[in-house]
């Protein structure tokens, strides 16, 4: 719910308010959010730092950045201004519904899989790859940002 709120808020404010953000920079932040989530999934905050960040605050903040990233990409298109808010609303509802349906399917499969021993090793490998991918995205986007400046 909080990711949807954050995502929707910055998507609408970004597109309708014509808030321009450097795409490389926002995508680098999105890469860091992926690293954060993989690290959190592996229990890294508890094990290595002996604390757990506020999950709800993190979800809202990441939703804000992801929505702004999408808004930044949409601003690259010549969107018709007539009824833009209606089209944006329809687009956003479609995106959010798609995410909900995908998440429901994934959660169903994962809840069944948790009963098997292979789940834990798969989880560790997957979250490690998730963190690695986020770091690669961060590095690639920061290089683009530096070259663009």
Count of domains forming the chain: 1
More confident residue, 1 or 6: 6
Given a contact cutoff of 8 angstroms between Cβ atoms, the answer to whether 123 and 41 are in contact is yes
Reply yes or no on whether the pLDDT at 97 is more than 90.
yes
**Domain assignment of residue 99, given as a range:** 2-148
Reply yes or no on whether the pLDDT at 20 is more than 90.
no
Given a contact cutoff of 8 angstroms between Cβ atoms, the answer to whether 37 and 96 are in contact is no
Contacts of 61 (CB under 8 A, 6+ apart): 6
Mean pLDDT confidence for 2-16: 92
C-alpha 100/C-alpha 93 separation (Å) is 10
């Amino acid at each position: 719910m909080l990711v949807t709120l954050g995502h929707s808020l910055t998507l609408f404010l970004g597109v309708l308010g014509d808030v321009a953000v450097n795409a490389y920079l926002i995508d680098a932040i999105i890469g860091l959010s992926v690293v954060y989530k993989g690290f959190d999934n592996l229990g890294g905050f508890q094990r290595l730092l002996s604390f757990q960040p506020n999950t709800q605050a993190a979800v809202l903040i990441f939703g804000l950045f992801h929505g702004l990233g999408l808004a930044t990409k949409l601003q690259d298109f010549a969107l018709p201004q007539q009824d833009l808010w209606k089209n944006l609303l329809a687009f956003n509802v479609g995106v959010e519904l798609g995410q909900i349906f995908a998440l429901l399917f994934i959660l169903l499969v994962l809840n069944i899989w948790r009963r098997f021993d292979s789940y834990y090793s798969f989880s560790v490998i997957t979250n490690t790859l998730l963190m690695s991918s986020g770091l690669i995205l961060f590095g690639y986007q920061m290089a683009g940002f530096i070259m663009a400046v």
